[in-house]
Amino acid sequence: MSTSEINKVNSKGNREGWWEHYHTNGKLWYKGNSVNGKEEGPWEFHYNNGQLWYKGNYLNGKEDGLWKYCDENGILVKELFYVNI
């Protein structure tokens, strides 16, 4: 995906499409898709050392389904299941 295809906003100023953001050290902070300013589908968040912090699925901007949380070494420490009602 080219950089011209990420981090876009729609005519209302809401996030739209694929989004990526990076820590000041250049490591990925988060990535995922937005629809009309709300997170939609799989998202990942990372510590500034590059390790996965947490990941899961959004439905209409709310956590939905299984989310996995890791410590700064990438070790799984918690799993939560969200029901988007």
Structural domains counted in the chain: 1
- pTM (two decimals): 0.89
Q: What does the pLDDT look like over 60-84, one tens digit per residue?
A: 999 999 999 999 999 999 999 999 7
CA dihedral 81, 56, 40, 37 (to 10 degrees): 100
Q: What does the pLDDT look like over 5-51, one tens digit per residue?
A: 799 999 999 999 999 999 999 999 999 999 999 999 999 999 999 99
56 touches 69 (CB < 8 A): no
41 touches 28 (CB < 8 A): no
Q: What is the CATH number of the domain that holds 9?
A: 2.20.110.10
Which residues form the domain of 57? 3-82
What's the distance, CA 8 to chain centroid? 15
